[in-house]
Structure 1
Amino acid sequence: MNIYALTIQNHGENTVWLPSTAPLSGQTDIAFGSVSTSCQIVSSSALNNEIIITKDVAERLRIPFANRIHLFLDEDTIYIGPLIGIFTAGFTKSSIRPIGKRSFFFAKLLSNEKKVGGFAFVFGAHHIHWDKGTVTGYFYTKTGWEQHEIPFPNVIYNRLPNRRTENETMFQEIKQKLKTEYFIPWFNENFFNKWDIYCLLQQHPLARAYLPDTASPPTIEAAQQFLDEYQQIYIKPANGSLGLGIYQLIQRNNSYYCRFRDHQGCNRLQKFPTLSDLWGKLLADKNMELYILQQGIPLIEVNGRKVDFRIHTNKDEHGIWQVSAIAAKIAGKGSVTTHINNGGIVKTVEEVFPKKEEQTKMTERLQHAALTLSRCLEEQLDMMIGEIGFDIGIDQQNNLWLFEANSKPGRSIFKHPKLKQYDELTTVLSLEYAVYLSKQMITAPEALLT
């Protein structure tokens, strides 16, 4: 897709000049986000990749500043932008850190808009002006954060920080209203539930081979059956994240062991004579309807510590899945998971597989699995999805297993110095997919709305 330089011209009125290469066919209106206006549209051979718009038209459309943009056409309207809204919560009164600790992530995301083309901004529930059909959005520019009142966006990328916030009635109502009354597509609109994802993937023949045996809700009888078959199992919150609230149960030499993280954040290992004792001491007060029971996998190890892999996939400007990052996560000492907050460390695939042939083979297998699972999930899910973070393990027989799929993947792997370049790639691809969705909604909306 071509990217054009948008210039806002102070002299003249009610006119837009487009390069003669733009395939005009009688358009009389120009649109930005949800707002359109009639104006004189002139094709100029003097322009190359530039669009010039008079100041009065820019003000009617609420275009905040000159930028690099895309141009989409339908029967009577030229659409410029697109206008990409990133919906979140947790705003502060600070002009330097308006979204608190996450301001740096959003700044990095928005700063890539010039590479991709379009206007990207962050907003929350209290920034929507329903009566005017506008939003007060936070833009990140050369001079820092700026607020501008703009029209409703072409597309919305959901970056609400946690499930609790996302499930609040207010946020659900806002999402439904913008989707159903304003026909604004959302992507990654929900956090994933582990049990729901397992059930969906179980229905897809290409995904089934990657799934550990899983049941819900966990019962002591089911746990014993799993232990008899697999010797180790995991009990996980279906809506958990960051490895919190996970219990590893091991049956060995007529005893039962449980590895978990206590309320003080310390990794614990306790021994029990029976499963009933373990269950009564550690799990009896849990609402098991909110948990899943999963087969334990004997993972490959590095220096005696278990390893799994985080693979990010993103859709690109053509709506095609790409692998955007792969990292190895090595469990901390005594940890039930490989998560960084549990003492885990991040390594590159090259560091885990120093032999070139093995490295290439494992990378290709991990990429193939992640892309297969991305396509399978997309087919099964009733929503648009532009990025996924997979946690995939390799067992000691070199079989691959899916442990988790995340619709709002964390960014901790990108702290590794050799993975920083992929941090930018994932954010660029998220914006590229937003541009793709915007174009689809303008030029072929029936494909998205069916």
Structure 2
Amino acid sequence: MNQPGSSLILTAPRKQLSEWGLRDGASVPLVCGRLQGTVSVKQSAKQEQTTTLRWPGGVLQLQIQGLSGQILYSKEEGFRIGPVIGIMTTGVRRDHKKPIGGRTSLLGDFVRASRELNVLCYVFNASDVNFVSGTVRGVTLSGPPGRETWTFARFPLPEAVYNRVPHRRAETLPDVKKCKEQFERMGVPLFNERFLNKNEMYRWLSDDRRSEAFIPATDRMRSPEALQRFIQTHKLIYLKPTGGSLGMGIYQVERDKQSYLVRYKREGQHVTTRFLTADALFQFVKRRSHPKSTYLMQQGIRLKEYGGRKTDFRVHLHKNGRGEWEAAGIGGKVAGAGSVTTHVHNGGKVVEGDRALRAWYGERAGQMRERMVDVSIRVADVIQGLLKGESGEFGLDVGLDQDDHVWVFETNAKPGRAIFRHPDLVEAGKRSARLVLEYAAYLVNFPLHRGGREDEPQRHYPHRSAR
């Protein structure tokens, strides 16, 4: 922890000082995030009803009854202010309307949730961390709900870090790597460590008895011969780039007696092409991909259909305030007309997951939902072993075939939040954002309170054997 060079000053209303049993001018130990020191307590002016902490280089305002941090006090240990949770990313700029550009809304979900939970949370560039002074230049929301504004300030180093670095390339930046290494040395938990590579993910899941039954057969597309052997075994397959996202670069291949029917997206249009040989198909995919790109071959699954179109699900899993997995929300993804995948980016649409399940199963919908969640939890437990540090969140793409078997197609370590823009999933999205903060508080053993009371335990989906 960092010891400030001069005394911290904590200014509080007289009523608050009385509740703490402290006099004006008292000197008390204080911890705020990774900042540690001795604070001098001062009584605020009569009209001021907020508690303010000042330290060299910045001002942090914490409202006792507000939404920007909790103050715990005991005679034995002094003050603890927090929990202090940092969201690490790149691309933060000094713009009071869109400080994180196009991701301002996405990351703003978590900052708004922090205000609801009375947690001190800010977003920061990996390049804006000063480990010597123990401070971070970051941005957070302040002001009354509905009229809040983005505010830039210097904050203490966080107790826990939620990693939202936006893409694989950014993960290789020197400042990002330095931050992750330094937080690890300091013992600061950082969760959602990195993006997953599809090849390593499928190998890992296929080799573990807990998950192997739920993963479609998958192998690398090394040669035309390998492609031909794979498609002879599986009449329907998908070719996927290992580093792809949003369904981009995916080909659906279906074999008939004479040829290979290939569906894919080209210049915004869904295209169907026929190839007579596996070699011609192999060369075609190679020509249209990046020279360093690696493709996987995956067994195609005949998905159940909703409204006459193939449908799968995004199961958004979180660890909650007890460190246990639960599903914050399940969105159904219905493929667009002629689309190879169910991604919204490719013309698909989102429906509330339970709506599709009720259409298929009626009174058994809850049972099938539970089965999907159980399988998702099992897969998440396996994937954790592939990652370093803590895993607090996964977005799993899950499907049901004609025999009601559960399949997991993708596991995303830094999932998007598009499903939560659907009107029926807005509340699930808010729950998802809160769970990120609750899990971070759990990691640093900071009890969360709302309105002076510790949170009640949240409902979750316990581990059950997948059927």
Identity among equivalent pairs (%): 32
Match in the other structure for 2:428 = 422
> Does the CA-based 8 Å contact 2:303-2:401 persist in structure 1?
yes
Query: Aligned partners of 1:376, 1:70: CA distance in 2, in Å?
Result: 38
SS at match of 2:444: helix
The amino acid that maps onto 2:250 is I
Q: Is it true that 1:145 corresponds to 2:150 in the alignment? A: yes
Seen in structure 2, the aligned counterparts of structure 1 residues 304 and 80 have a Cα distance that, compared at 3 Å, is: same
Mapped to 2, the partners of 1:304 and 1:38 lie a distance apart of: 66
Q: Which residue of 1 aligns with 2:7?
A: none
Determine if contact 2:303/2:402 at 8 Å carries over to the other structure.
yes
Task: Report the CA distance between 1:302 and its aligned residue.
Answer: 2.4
Indicate the SS of the match to 2:122.
strand
* Separation in structure 1 between the aligned mates of residue 278 and residue 323 of structure 2, nearest angstrom: 49
Q: Does 1:204 align with 2:205?
A: no
The whole-number CA distance in structure 2 between the counterparts of 1:148 and 1:257 is: 57
Please say if residues 89 and 166 of structure 2, whose CA atoms lie closer than 8 Å, have aligned partners that are also in contact.
Answer: yes
Q: Is 2:393 the counterpart of 1:387?
A: yes
2:171 to 163, 166, 169: 166
8 Å CA contact 1:267, 1:335 repeated in 2: yes
Structure 2 distance, partners of 1:221, 1:384, is 40
- Counterpart of 1:99 in structure 2 is 100
Partner of 2:238: 234
CA contact (8 A) 1:137 1:147 kept: yes
- Superposed displacement of residue 284, structure 1: 4.5
Q: Structure 1 317/70 Cα, relative in aligned 2: closer, same or farther at 3 Å?
A: farther
Deviations 1:64-112 (A, max 9, x none): 3324426498995653211100011122342111111211222222111
Distance across 1 between alignment mates of 2:406 and 2:73: 42
Q: CA deviation at 1:398?
A: 1.3
Contact 2:84 2:158 in 1 (8 A): yes
Kept in 2: contact 1:16–1:39 (CA 8 A): no
Q: 1: distance between equivalents of 2:368 and 2:281?
A: 38
1:216 and 1:293 in contact (8 A); partners too: yes
* Matching of residues 54-203 of structure 1 within 5 Å: 58-59=54-55, 63-66=60-63, 67-69=68-70, 71=72, 78-142=79-143, 143-180=148-185, 182-203=186-207
Structure-2 change in CA distance of 1:173 and 1:242 (3 Å): same
- The 3-state SS of whatever aligns with 2:367 is helix
Q: By how many angstroms is 1:234 displaced?
A: 1.2
Q: Distance in 2 between matches of 1:53 and 1:28?
A: 19
Matched AA of 1:161: P
Asked whether 1:29 is paired with 2:32, we answer no
Matched residue, 2:308? 304
In 2, are the aligned partners of 1:311 and 1:390 still within 8 Å (CA)?
yes
Counterpart amino acid of 1:335? S
* Secondary structure in structure 2 of the residue aligned to 1:125: strand
Contact 1:394/1:401 (8 A) holds in 2: yes
2:378 is matched by which residue type in structure 1?
T
Could you tell me which residue of structure 2 aligns to residue 444 of structure 1? none
2:340 aligned to which of 336, 340, 345: 336
**Unaligned segments of structure 1, at least 5 residues:** 1-6, 21-26, 42-51, 441-450
Q: Unpaired segments of 5 or more residues in structure 2? A: 1-9, 42-48, 447-467
Q: State the AA in 2 paired with 1:193.
A: N
Q: Aligned equivalents of 2:207 and 2:240: distance in 1?
A: 22
Q: How many Å separate the matches in 2 of 1:106 and 1:183? A: 24
Partners of 1:16 and 1:221 in 2: CA distance: 80
What code does the residue aligned with 1:160 have? V
Taking a change above 3 Å as real, the CA distance of residues 231 and 119 of structure 1, as seen in their structure-2 partners, is same
CA–CA distance in structure 2, aligned partners of residues 64 and 404 of structure 1: 42
- Name the Cα RMSD after superposition: 3.0
SS at match of 1:408: coil
Change (3 A) 1:229 1:18: farther
Distance 1:368-1:64 versus aligned 2 partners, 3 A rule: same
| SS of structure 2 residue aligned to 1:297 | coil
Describe how 1:279-294 pairs up with structure 2 within 5 A.
279-284=282-287, 286=289, 287=291, 290-294=294-298
> Are residues 1:404 and 2:410 paired?
yes
Distance across 2 between alignment mates of 1:229 and 1:246: 20
Measured against aligned partners, the alpha-carbon deviations of 1:378-408 in whole angstroms (never above 9, x if no partner) come to 2443321111000011111111111000111
CA distance in 2, matches of 1:19, 1:218: 72
User: Does 1:243 find its partner at 2:247?
Assistant: yes
TM-score (norm 1): 0.84
Is 308-317 or 264-273 further displaced after alignment?
264-273
Could you say if the C-alpha distance between residues 396 and 12 of structure 1 is closer, same or farther in structure 2, counting changes exceeding 3 Å? closer
Opposite residue 396 of structure 1, the aligned amino acid is Q
The amino acid across from 1:65 in the alignment is L
| Distance in 2 (alpha carbons) for counterparts of 1:54 and 1:339 | 47
Equivalent position SS for 1:132: coil
Contact 1:223 1:233 (8 Å CA) reproduced: no
